[in-house]
Each structure stands twice: as C-alpha cells, then as structure tokens.
Structure 1
Amino acid sequence: MSPCRWLISLMIISVTSFGAQAKIYTTPILAEANDLLQTNPEQSLAITSRYLDQRRLSAPKETSRVHINDETDHTVRTPLSTINALQIKARAYMLLNQAEPAIHTIKMAETLAHNESLIFSGIESQLIHADIYWRNLKNSASALGLLDQIDTAIKTQSQQMMESQVQRLQYQSLMQRAIIESQTGNTVMAEKRFIRAKRFLVNLNDPQEKIHYLLILGNHYLDNGHYDLALDRLLSGYWLAVEIDDKAQTATANFELASLFEQRKVFDKALEHATQAGEFFAHYKQTLPLAQTLTLIASIYEQQGRYNLALVHYFNALDQENQLKHDSRSAKLRLHIARVYLQLYNYPKAEQYLHHTRLLATQSNDEVTLAEAQILQGTLELAEGKADEAITTLQAGLIAATRINNHDLQLESELQLSRAFEQKKDYYNALLSQRRYEQLFSTKQQAQVKSNVDVFKQQQRMLERSLHLEELERQQFESEKALYKQKNITIFLFSVLTAVGLLLWRRNRTYKQLQKRLTRLRTDFYTHPRSGLKNLRMLTAKLPNSLQQSSANFEQWHLGEIINEPLSDRLRFALFEVPFLKHIYLKHGYQQGLNMERLFGEYLNQQICEPARVYHFSDAMFLYIEPNSRLDSAPEQLAHSLQQLIDQFAETHQLDNRVRIGMAEYPFLPRAYTAINDQELLDILLMATNAAREASKHDNGSQWVHLSAIDAAPAASFACDNIRRACSQGIDNGLIKVQSSSVFEFTWHADHVSDKNIS
C-alpha cells in the first residue's frame, strides 16, 4: 500500500470509528461534545475540559455496578459522566494526533471506572486506549496485546453486563483487530475478523454501526485491489448514510468512492464525490481530511492533463499541511508539485520542489518519498539531456525501491532507465532494463489476474447466494400467501364459532332464565304458600288460558305420584289433621301463625325422606304417602310414627300435640286395582279423618281410624257416583274393615246424608 493510500485509510477509519462509538449521553453538554468530535475536535476538547474543571466529582448514591447518570445539580458530575467526558477528551486528542495527552486522559478514565466498578465503561476506555496505540503510535504489538486483555475481561465479566453491552464490546474489539490486520498485510485473517464482526452487527441493529462497518470493509477491499467488492460496500454505506442524514459519514463515503473511481480512471465520478467530500471538510474546517481531499482532486486533474488546476489544488493542500506541520505529507505534496512542473517543462521549479522534498523526507525518514524523489530527479535529468547523471540517479532510485519492496517504483525506475540507456545508445542495457520492466509488469499482471479470479469466485458465490435467496424469497412468498389464506379461513371459522358460541351462550342464558322462571312458577303455584309443602289444591282456575294445558300436565304428574303407580307397588296413605295450626292464628296472631306454619312445613320436609312424601292438603290437614310392601302390617305403627313426628315439633315449640289420622291403602280393593281412583281415595281418607276427629272430641286425645276393604270385597259394590255412601254401605255389609285407636261407635250414615244435603 502506498503511503498516500495508507494516510487516506487512517483518516477514513479515524472519522468513521467515532460514528461507530456513538452512544446516548444523558448530559447535554457531553452529547454536544461527542457530536463535535466529527467536525471540530478542538471545540469538543475545550467543552469537555471546561466540564471537568467547573464541576466537582460526586460520590455515587449506591455501590452497585449500575450507576444512574443523574445530574440535576449542575455543580457536580457523577462518576459515569466523568468517565464519558474523559473518553471524549481522549478521542479528541487522538484526532488531533496528540498521543501523550490522549493516553494520559484515557488512563484516568480506566482508573475511575475500576474504582467505581463500572465494568462496561472500563472496557470501553481500554478499547480507546488500544485505538490510540495503533492510530497515533502505530504500535500494533501494544494494541493487539491490550485487545487480548480486553477479550479476556469480556469473557470473565460478561455475567455482570447486559447482553447488548457484551455484544457491542465484542464487535468493537473484532473491528479493531480486523483494521490492524488489514493495514499490516494480514488480509486473510482480517476478512475472517470482518465476517465474525458482521454477526454481532446484526444483533446490534444500529444503522450508524452498519455504515461504519461497510465503509471500513470497503476501504479494506480498496486497499487490496478488489474494486468491485469495494464499490458494492462503499455505495451501500454511502446511500445508508444519506438515508439517515449522517453528513460526516456521507463525506467519508464520498472520499472513499472518489479514491476508488480515481484508481479505476473514472475521473468524472471521482471529481463529483471528491468535491462533495471537500465541501463538508472545508465547512467544518477539518484540516487533515481537507488536505487529503484536495490532494486527491489535484491528482485527478493531473491525470486528466489539467496541470494548472492540479497545481492550484496541490498548493491549497500544501497550505493545509503546513498548518498541521507534518513533514512527511508536506514532502509528498512537494513531490507531486515537482512532477506537475516537470510535465509543464518548468524544470527550474521542478528542481526547486524536488530539493525541498528531499530535505523534508530526510528529516521525517520517509524512505518511500526519498525513493520517489530520486526516480523523479532521474526523470528530470533525462528530460534535460543529462543521460549519465540520469542513469546514476535512476539506479540509486531502483536500489531504494527494491529495498523497500515497492513494485510500482521499481517499474517506473526500470522504464526510465531503459529510456536513459536508449538515449545514450546503449541498447543492450536498454533491452535489459526493458526486459526487467516486462518481468515486473508480468508479475504485477499475474497478481492482478489472481486478484480478479478471487473476486470473480467471490462474485460467483454472491450470485449463487443471491439466486438461493431469491428462491427462498419465492418460497417465503408462497408460504406467506398460504399462511394469509389459512389466516383468513381461521378468522372466518373463529368468527363463526364465536357467533355460534354467543348464540349458544344466549340460548343457555335464556334457558336458565326460563328454568328459574319455571321453578318460581312451580314454587308459587304448586306449593303451599304458607308451609312450602307440595299442595294438592289445584290452582288451574286461577291460571290464564295460555297456561291451562301446561298446568294440567303438571297436575297430572303430581297426582300420578299418588295413585298412578305400577301395579306391583302398594302404597299406604295417611291424612292427618294438626289442630294447633288452627289455634295458633287465634292465639298468637297472623304473623306468628305464618312463621309457625312455615317452620312446620320445613320440619316435615326434613324429617320425611324418600320414597315417603307429604302434601299440604288443606289449612291444617296433610297427606302422607309411603310404600307398603307388607299389607298385613298394623296401621297403629304408621299412626305411632306420625304421632312421634308431631310430638317432637310440638315439644320444641310448646304446642298442642294432638293429631287426627285417617288411613287407607292402595289398592283399596285387592281384587280390582283400578276400581277406586285418586279423588275417591281422598274421599275415603276424609271419612276416616273425620271419624278420628269425632273420636278425639269424646276421648280428648290423638286418634286414628283405618279403613280397608276385605279381600273378597267385589268392585261392583263401589260402582256408584257417591263413594262415601258406597263406603257406608260397605261398612254395614262387612265389606270394609274399620280399625281405630278409640272404642267410640262411629255413625257413618250421617256422613253420606250430609253429603246429599250439601248437594
């Protein structure tokens, strides 16, 4: 790589590296100083120095590794903001090529970060320290050694940092190594580093970092003559910088593109990009990059044969370099000016600038410039007709070029030697110089062919990847299309299911509401309003016409529990009257009577378990039904059970425990199951209960009466309209057996006579 090209690369990397290190500062002053690094490092240095001088360092609020950069008090600075300020200051010194104060400042930042346990900021400071070693001191060994320490620190302390911080540090370390290896000739290892760094770059998701990466990689390819790859990376970085309006990196990309087009002899595009870059550097008074840009523009004009314009720009670049007081670059510019004067046949001026070039190159020990000056001196002497002096000077230049292994200078010296020998009529030596020139040129061409082959292979791989990517994109499009279709189907099905679900939910809700309403209706219409027991007093007449049929069906279901049983079932019925329910209202009032009747109904519901059941027949009368599998069981057992039931309640509430019980079985006629229906059975029970009540009046206690037809009783004896009269006649004829707890003589004929009178 030529010294000019090397200086250009250094300038590009220095400028773009600060864009890569950009981060968010919570202190506006430091944010401003960081932004000025790319345009005015002197002012950035002044701002950070003033910030550090005017504020005192405050103790951290907590000793944990996480430090909050809170500076609401403008008289203090936190440890984190202090480290940030020192980092900016060191980078400003680095840009101004002041290595010693840069190293001193960054060491202060490292010490403070170590004392405050700020691991991320400490490693950041070490990266800047390594950068100074390489960019300002050209000490690659120290830089790489410090980078080894940094990589070890990242591995051992990664658990104490966020993943994004670790990835950023690893990326910056890899990029620094890749830059050093690229500029020291280790091209293969540099490209491996760049590839590894790109993996971290994807995770960082930072456009400025991506621009920095593309420009550095493009510069690497340009240095190694891979012009197609360089053009691809530099153009990508340029347009991305334009897109996010990053003027500093846009200027850097313009300069790199101008250098590329200049080497490829595309002078119009080279001038366009170089002019844009020069405008930015001139506006922000960046002396070094402006000098390099002016030199590039002058070189383009020189190659175009526009020597006057080339001289103007070389002189302007020389003015900038004189401000920087850099002897090596000034010597290089004077060499260019001497070459232009030689093209203009102004030999005295060419000799004058060559003399100044040799003086400055000797002072700076610039062997490359000295070798170039000797070759140009020989060319000048040859132009003046001093062939012997030209041969001596050119041979010394060839020896110097061979010593520094500069193939371009060897080619130039051999070509000029061939011309010098030819001018002296020494054709043999002229032929030898020409053949050495052709050999060197052939070697250069072979290297260029090899480079082109490598580039072609890489382009082939890129094309294959592009085709593979296109196929993957097509498959992705098809997959997305199918996924979109599936998504629409899923949405449609989900909508349908949602609608069905809402409909079912509404129907279920309506069903529950109707169920509750039906339960409430059953409770209201088919339970006794006071006791809460099932009520046999049908309320059909009170219902509207629309409910007549459903009420009839419901009544039939309830009455079916009384009589409508399978023929294999036998039931025992007891209709009992509880007098205290009549007296309770008279003695204690209506409200107390209601409460007592409700308690009594709840008590019966609790005590009587299925399959037995109880109904509220009338105000003080209840119908009890239970299975009767053995017809020969004594009726007094059932009466005793009912008496115990009443005794328990009456004792608890201190009430009259008398009870009148009328009992019968189903079937009433053993020989004819269906001869007696439900209403007729109720009439028989009423007769028995009435008889028990009459007996209770004489014996003053609980009484029970049980009626049952004998086994031989014919069904025809009860086939009449008045079951009570039929039962009276049956008792008289001995067809119905009467059992009672009393010896009282019952008068059954009065019963049916009274029925007749009523009718």
Structure 2
Amino acid sequence: MFPRRWLIPYLFLCVTSLGAQAKIFTTPLLAEANDLLPLSPEQSLEITDRYLAQRRLSTPKETSRVHINDETDHTIRTPLSTVNALQIKAQAYSLLNQIDAAMQTIKAAEALANEHALTFSSLESQLIHARIFWENLKNSTLALKTLDAIDQQLTDSRHLMMDSQIKRLQYDSLMQRAVIESHTGLETEAEKRFLKAKRFLTELDDKPEQIHYQLVVGRHYLEHDHYELALDRLLSGYWLAVELDDKPQIAMANYELATLFEQRKVFDKALEHATQAGDFFEHYQRTLPLAQTLGLIADIYEQQGRYNLALVHYFNALDQENQLKHEVRSAQLRLSIARVYLQLYNYPKAEQYLHHARLMATQSGNDSILTDAQLLQGRLELAEGKTDNAISTLQNGLIAASRLGNRELQMEGEQLLSQAFEQKKDYYNALLSQRRYEQLFSTKQLAQVESNVEVFKQQQRMLERALHLEELERQKFDSEKALYKQQKVTVFLLSVLAITIIILLRRHRTAKLLTSRLMRLRTEFYTHPRSGLRNLRMLTVKLPNSLQQSSANFEQWHLGEIISEPLSDRLRFALFEVPFLKHIYLKHGYQQGLELERQFGEYLKKQVCEPARLYHFSDAMFLYIEPNSRLDSAPEQLANSLQELVDRFVEQRHIDNRVRIGMAEYPFLPRAYTAINDHELLDILLMATNAARELSKLESGSQWVHLSAINAAPAASFASDNIRRACIQGIDNGLVKVQSSSRHEICWNDDHVSDKNVS
C-alpha cells in the first residue's frame, strides 16, 4: 500500500478527535459551537466570534468565585466561558488550516486562564496547543515538549483540581503522545501509552470516548500492518457505536473498516463500508470526510480496474478538496487521477495532472508526494518509450524514497526500475533491481511474520469473544421475543385506551353541545321576546307536585329567588308601569312598536348595573330590585331615579314619559324577615302600582305609591291567606304606612279585598 494513502485517513482521524472529548458547557451557544467543530468549523467560528463580540468580560468580585460559570445575564461572559470560547475558536482555525490564527487564539486562551487562575482550563488550552503543533505543523518536537510541560504542571497542581479532571488531562496527554509515537515509528512505545491510557479511560466511564479509543488504536494497528488486530479493534468500536446509536462514530468506524478491507483487497466489503460512511457525510454535508471517503472509493475502483468510476469519484473528491483549499490532499488526488489516465493510456492527461500535482506538492513542501510523483513520472516515461529518461527519473525517485524510509515507495521504484532496465536489455541491472525489490519484500514479510505471533495470541481471545457473542445473540433473541409479546399486549391496551378516550371525547362533546343548547333554551325562556330583558315567570303555581319542586329549583338556580337573600341584606323593590308601551303599537304599528320596545330593553340593560336587578314583569310593567342599606332613605329618590331613566329614553322620541310606580322594601316586616314570601310581596307591589295608576287619573303626570310596615308591626297581623286584605287592614289599623306623590287620598278598590271574584 502506498504511503500517500496513509495521510487521508490519518487526517480524518485527527479531525474527529477534536470532538471526541466529552465536555459540558453551561452556555448553550458554546455547546452548539463545540458540536459543530467536526461538522462545520466555519459555522463554529462564526458562533464563537458572535459570542465574544456581543458579551463583555465580567470581573468577579470575589477571587473564590472565578471558576463559576453563571451566565444568567446574557450581556456578560465569565472568564471560564471566555476561555472555552477561545479554545473552540482555536480548534476551528486549526481545522481550517489557519495556523497563525489558531496559535494566536490558543495563546490568548492560555493567558486568560493563567490570569484568572483557571488551572484546568489552562492545561486544556496547552493540550490544544500541542495538538496544533502536531496536526497542523507536524512538529513532534514542540508537541512533545508541550506535553512534558503539561505533565509537570499536573504533578505540581494536583491539589487545585478534582480527580476526574486530572484523569481526563492525563488520558488526553497519553493519547496525544501515543498518536505521535505511532506516526513516528515508535510502535512499541505507542502501544504502551495506549494501554496506560485505557486504565484512565476505564475510570472516566465515558462511553463515546471508549468508541473513539478503539478506533484510534485500530487505526494505529492498521498503519503498522497488523490487520487482524486492527480488525478486532475497529469492529469492537463499530459495534459499541451501534449499541449506543452514535451515528458520527459509526460513520468513522465504517470509514476505517473500508480502509482496512481496501488494504486487504477485500473490495466488496470495503465498498460496502465506504458507501455507508459516504452516505452519512453527504447527508450531514461534512465536506472534509466526504472528500476523503470519495477518494477511498475511487482507490477501490482503481484497483478493481473500473477506471471510469474511479475517475468520477476522484474528480468529485477533488471538487470537495478545492473548496477546503487543502493543497496536500488536492495534490494527492491529482496524482491519483494521473495514475488512472496512465492506465487508460491517455498520456497527455496523465502528464497534465502529474505536472499540477508536482507543482502543488512543491508549494506545500510535501516530500512524500514529490517522491510518488517522481516515480509516476518515470512510469509514464517508461510507457512512452523514453527508457533513458525513465531510468534517470526512477533512480532519483528511489534515492528520495530511501531518504524518507518509505518501504512501499522503494518497492514500487525498484520494480519499475527493473522493468526499465529489462526494456533497455540491461538484464544485469534489471536483476539487481529485482533482487533489491525481493529483499525489501522479504523484510516486509519478516515484519509480518513477527506480527503474526501476537496475532495468534489474539485469535484465541477473538474466538472466546465470538462464543460469548453467540450467547449474547441467543439472549438477545429471547429478550426480543419477550419484548414482542409485551409490545402486543401494550398495543392492545393502547387500542382499548384510545377507544375509551374517543368514546369519552364524544360523550364530552355531546354533553357540551346539550349544555350549550340548554343554556340557549334557558336564556330564551327567561328573556322577554320583545325587550330582551330577563322575564320574571312564576311557573310553579299550577304545576303538578312532581314537577313543582324541580321547576322551582330551576328558577332559583337561574335567577335567584327574588327575596331569598341573606338575612343581613335589605332590598328595595319598585314595580313600575310605562304606559307608552301600551299605546305605541296602536299609534305606530307593530314593526315600529316592536323596534321601540327592543330599543327600550337594550337601554335599560345598559343603565341598570349590578347588584341592581331588573325584570320584565308584564307587557308594560317592570320590576326593579336594588340593595337598600339605608331603610330610612326617601322613596321619592328611587321614584325620581326611575322617572329620570325613562325621561332620558323618551326625550328625543316625543312620546309619553309618564311612569306609575309602586314601591316596598324587604323585609316588609322588619321584625320578621320570612313572614312574607316573594308572591305576597309582588301582591303588595301590585296594590301600590294600581294605587299609583288610579292617582294618575286624578292628577296628570307620573305618580308613585310606597307601602311599608311600621317597625312595631307584628307578623301575626299578616298571617292570612289573602295578603291584600291583610295589607288593607294593616293600613286601616295604622300598621302599614302609605307614602305617595299625590295629595289626594287613595281609595283602595274593592277588588283588593278578596280574590274570590277574580276568575
């Protein structure tokens, strides 16, 4: 496998490692920016810039509270959240390959953390600084030097941090060291670091980080050609990610497995995993990993000899890389395109893309790509028959490959050089190149044999794990079967519940409809059809006993009994007759009379406010009830109020404004609240109103009559079946006081003495 293919998955692994560390942010904006780092560094950078610009840095009043990240006030940012924002911003710059900005930002984060004695945040910032040294600058010396300083500060500052924070920092430091040592060829040291980091990871109890750990170690074994160990680690990470439904890490595991299968020439499985990873990256518009996945798929198609499909995917990957402005990966893709065109015998196109790749590799200073390009140039010259040029180019490429220590490029170069010497019929040099190729291949095979010793030991564990997995599968099947039964029971119960709810909702809707209909009927029943006022109806007089009580209760619920009030309440009653309502129909006709009565009813509704009440008693008579806290108030005041009420209505209509008013108070007998009921009180009011009507025949204008029992009137005087006769006797005996608006003496009519003459 060519070294050019090591860079693509390795850079992808670096990108995903930025978001692998579990961290809690109390500010939602920063949490969102951190989540967006591996997805869209540009958007993450925009969020942090807006956060830092819109909020001012707070100054803690107490040094003991500098670690508190309370941001309930959205106009300020605490030192801790500011450091977190700068850390995210630096990582975004790192992913965008803006190294100077990343360095400047992370240094600002370190300075702010040190200024406010944020020990943990300071060490976190230094870890990010070390990561930038390695991932962006490939400067292992500065990265390891920074990690050494972090380990020293960890030893000196243990008392300032919690155990979980210390373990997190130690774990991150070990993982960074292991990755650097793995890439620089210190395989054994890297494996020791990974094992030590695993002990800290177990104590951290971080499931997503466990997935990330398995994938990083799997990637380490893959780079060092330990394919069985790599498969074990990558599959472990993959299934753990599936168990947690961690889709980003599932995609990452798919990519790594596709790389492994591609190197082992299992192209069908490689395409399957690469396609699944590509679907995820395309769906979430993750440009960088999508470009890498497309490049991997193109590599697979190229090795299968499906060159047209390979070119399509290489070009798609190149479009993505051009957007990201990654010159190294763009140069690598152009080199791959040139190699495909060479396979298709399109030498001008191969030369064109090879030239562009060499220019970009020269600008970026990537010796590996330059060496690969030089070998491909020799291969192109050999194909074009330029044997001497090919030999010279291939020899220069072999020297560069030896300087890099890249065994794969050396093997490719020796093989091509042997073909060139053979084409020139220099069989001796061709044989020497072939033997050097075989020596390199033997060295590679020997390393593979040494690796197989450890692999054999691992196979026993894998077999035991497989047996354990089979047992787990059986348990899973049993659990799924039980779950299926439970689901059926649950569905049945939910169906019954749904049907019950539907029935209850229908019953509720029907009850609501019937209630509204009943309210409408009650409103219509207790409303006068012409005036619209409440209509006082006495329904219980001639009803059967079976209906009389329910009807009485119904009336009391809707209106309240006329005088069934608390004993402490005093009420004043006025039954007044408006004569113009009798004559308006005769004078103006039915339609105008109906309209005028309706207007009069609406007018009275607006004028009479609670707690006063007004009922339409009969065609031209109205019953007015109001609280009477002062029993000694003159009845003339109420009469004048009612007269004024009618006057305001008729003043613009030029109609009769006369009013006949009969008045009384409740309690009619001050010494006996319950001696007179509502029916009897209405009879008294009718007597008084009729008396006012008779007075209006003697004198023009409105008249009123007020009846009231004296304070000493005994209740026994009114204990009679005929309240009218009892009231007239009370007047004769001086027990009932009569007040009137007229100077004429009131002559009580004989029809008031007895009701027996009324048919």
TM-score of the alignment, normalized to the shorter chain, above 0.5: yes
Aligned partner of 1:380: which letter?
Answer: L
- Local SS of the residue matching 2:19: helix
* Aligned equivalent of 1:83: 83
Q: Equivalent residue of 2:64, what SS?
A: coil
Cα distance in structure 2, aligned partners of 1:335 and 1:76: 51
How many angstroms does 1:369 deviate by? Answer: 2.1
User: Residue 400 and residue 103 in structure 1: after superposition, are their counterparts in 2 closer, same or farther (change >3 A)?
Assistant: closer
The alignment's TM-score, normalised by the length of structure 2, stands at 0.59
The 5-angstrom pairing of residues 65-76 of structure 1 reads 67-76=67-76
Partner of 1:223: 223
In the alignment, the residues of structure 1 paired with residue 118 and residue 65 of structure 2 have an alpha-carbon distance, to the nearest angstrom, of 6
Q: Is the 8 A contact 2:19 2:34 kept in 1?
A: no
Shift of 1:8: 2.7
- 2:371 is the counterpart of 1:375: no
What is the DSSP-based 3-state SS (H/G/I as helix, E as strand, rest coil) of the residue aligned with 1:425? coil
Structure 2 CA distance for partners of 1:469 and 1:306, relative to 1, 3 Å: closer
Match of 2:312 in 1: 312
What's the counterpart of residue 53 of structure 2?
A: 53
- The CA deviation string for residues 619-665 of structure 1, in whole angstroms up to 9 with x for no partner, is xxxxxxxxxxxxxxxxxxxxxxxxxxxxxxxxxxxxxxxxxxxxxxx
How many Å apart are 1:207 and its aligned residue? 0.7
Superposition deviation, residue 388 in structure 1: 3.0
Change (3 A) 1:187 1:206: same
Q: Name the residue aligned to 1:177.
A: 177
Q: Is the 8 A contact 2:4 2:368 kept in 1?
A: no
Instruction: Assess, with a 3 A threshold, how the Cα gap between structure 1 residues 31 and 364 changes in structure 2: closer, same or farther.
Output: closer
Q: CA deviation at 1:469?
A: 11
Deviation at 1:61, TM superposition (A): 5.0
Tell me which amino acid in the other structure corresponds to 1:307: Y
Residues 109 and 399 (structure 1 numbering): CA distance in 2 closer, same or farther, change over 3 Å? closer
Who is 2:333 aligned against?
333
Q: Counterpart of 1:11?
A: 11
In structure 2, the CA distance between the partners of 1:102 and 1:3, relative to structure 1 (3 Å rule), is farther
- Secondary structure at the aligned position of 1:303 is classed as helix
Residues 385 and 37 (structure 1), Cα distance of their counterparts in 2 relative to 1, 3 Å cut: same
Unaligned runs of 5+ in 1: 474-759
Tell me what 1:125 maps to: 125
Call closer, same or farther: CA 1:235–1:55 in 2, change over 3 Å: same
- The CA deviation at 1:149 is 1.5
Question: Measured at CA, do residues 261 and 61 of structure 1 come closer, stay the same or move farther in structure 2, by a change above 3 Å?
Answer: farther
Q: 2:28 maps to which residue? A: 28
SS of the equivalent of 2:69 reads coil
CA contact (8 A) 1:22 1:34 kept: no
Deviation at 1:65? Answer: 6.3
Contact 1:282 1:290 in 2 (8 A): yes
Q: Could you tell me how far 1:66 is from its partner in structure 2?
A: 6.7
- Deviation per CA, 1:134-161: give whole Å up to 9, x if none: 1112121111111111112212211221
* 1:189 pairs with 2:194: no
The corresponding residue for 1:275 is 275
Cα distance, 1:284 vs. partner?
Answer: 3.3
- The farther-off stretch of 14-23 and 133-142 is 14-23
What is the SS of the residue equivalent to 1:225? coil
Tell me, in whole angstroms, the C-alpha distance in 1 between the residues paired with 2:18 and 2:426: 58
Question: Paired residue for 2:427?
Answer: 427
Q: Which has the larger radius of gyration?
A: 1
Shift of 1:203: 0.7
Residue pair 1:65, 1:117 contacting (<8 A) in 2 also: no
- Does the CA-based 8 Å contact 1:11-1:289 persist in structure 2? no
How big is the shift at 1:216?
0.9
Report the CA distance between 1:204 and its aligned residue. 0.6
Compared CA separation, residues 463 and 254, structure 1 to 2 (3 A): closer
Separation in 2, partners of 1:362, 1:51? 40
After the TM superposition, which of the residue ranges 167-176 and 366-375 deviates more from structure 2?
366-375
CA displacement 1:269-317 (0-9 Å, x = unmatched):
1112112222232333333322211111100000011000000111111
1:185-264 aligned at under 5 Å gives the runs: 185-264=185-264
Specify the code of the residue in structure 2 equivalent to 1:12. Answer: F
Paired with 1:312 and 1:468, the residues of 2 have a C-alpha distance of 43
Question: Offset of 1:5 from its aligned partner?
Answer: 3.8
Q: For 1:396 and 1:112, how far apart are their aligned partners in 2?
A: 51
Q: CA deviation at 1:425?
A: 2.7
Q: Is the 8 A contact 2:3 2:409 kept in 1?
A: no
Of 451-460 and 122-131, deviating more is 451-460
Deviation at 1:458, TM superposition (A): 4.6
Q: Structure 1 residues 469, 267: CA separation in 2 closer, same or farther (over 3 Å shift)? A: closer
Q: Distance in 1 between matches of 2:3 and 2:445?
A: 22
Give the Å deviation of 1:9: 4.3
The one-letter code sitting in structure 2 at the alignment partner of 1:158 is R
CA change 1:65–1:203 in 2 (3 A) is farther
Distance change >3 Å, CA 467–CA 75, structure 1 → 2: closer
Pair 383,53 (structure 1): closer, same or farther in 2 beyond 3 Å:
same
Give me the whole-angstrom Cα distance separating, in 2, the residues matched to 1:464 and 1:279: 32
Q: Tell me what 2:324 maps to.
A: 324
Question: How far apart in 1 are the matches of 2:67 and 2:428?
Answer: 79
Residues 468-507 of structure 1 mapped to structure 2, 5 A cutoff: none
- 1:362 maps to a residue whose letter is T
Code of the residue aligned with 1:35 in structure 2: it is D
Equivalent-residue separation in structure 2 for 1:164 and 1:468 (angstroms): 35
User: Structure 1 residues 269, 413: closer, same or farther in 2, change over 3 A?
Assistant: same
Query: 1:406-448, CA deviations, whole angstroms, 9 ceiling, x for partnerless residues?
Result: 2222222222222222223332332222222222222222222
CA distance in 1, matches of 2:392, 2:114: 62
CA distance in 2, matches of 1:3, 1:99: 25
Distance 1:104 1:386 in 2: 51
User: What is the alpha-carbon distance in structure 1 between the residues aligned to residue 145 and residue 428 of structure 2?
Assistant: 54
1:34 to 1:4, Cα distance in 2 relative to 1, 3 A: same
Deviations 1:441-481 (A, max 9, x none): 22222222222223224545x469979999xx9xxxxxxxx
Write the deviation string for residues 671-707 of structure 1: whole angstroms up to 9, x where unpaired: xxxxxxxxxxxxxxxxxxxxxxxxxxxxxxxxxxxxx
Q: Counterpart of 1:211 in structure 2: which amino acid?
A: I
Compute the displacement of 1:54 (Å): 0.3
| Contact 2:342/2:350, CA 8 A, preserved across alignment | yes
Cross-structure match for 1:659: none
Which residue of the partner structure matches residue 689 of structure 1? none
Q: Report if the CA contact (8 A) 1:127-1:150 is conserved.
A: yes
d(CA) in 2 for partners of 1:25 and 1:210? Answer: 21
- Map 1:556-575; keep pairs closer than 5 Å: none
Change (3 A) 1:51 1:236: same
Q: Deviations over 1:698-726 (max 9, x none)?
A: xxxxxxxxxxxxxxxxxxxxxxxxxxxxx
- TM-score, length-scaled by structure 1: 0.59
In structure 2, the partner of 1:299 is 299
Aligned partners of 1:409, 1:4: CA distance in 2, in Å?
Answer: 9
Structure 1 residue 40 displacement after superposition: 1.0
Partners of 2:17 and 2:140 lie apart in 1 by 17
How many Å apart are 1:229 and its aligned residue?
Answer: 1.1
CA-CA distance at 1:198 after TM superposition? 0.5
In the alignment, residue 160 of structure 1 is paired with which amino acid? L
Distance 1:320 1:195, change over 3 A: same
CA contact (8 A) 1:19 1:212 kept: no
SS class of match (1:22): coil
What residue number does 1:94 align with? 94
**2:507 counterpart residue number:** none
Distance in 1 separating the partners of 2:364 and 2:109: 33
CA distance in 2, matches of 1:27, 1:415: 59
Q: Which amino acid aligns with 1:356?
A: H
Shift of 1:346: 1.4
Aligned residue pairs total 470
Residue pair 2:19, 2:37 contacting (<8 A) in 1 also? no
Q: Which residue of 2 aligns with 1:637?
A: none
1:361–1:370 contact (8 Å) kept in structure 2: yes
Tell me the C-alpha RMSD between the 2 structures.
Answer: 2.4
Deviation at 1:132, TM superposition (A): 1.2
Looking at structure 1, the residues matched to 366 and 17 of structure 2 have their Cα atoms a distance apart, in angstroms, of 27
On the 8 A contact 1:10/1:135 being kept in 2, the answer is no
Higher alpha-carbon deviation: 127-136 or 352-361: 352-361
In 1, Cα distance between equivalents of 2:284 and 2:244 = 20
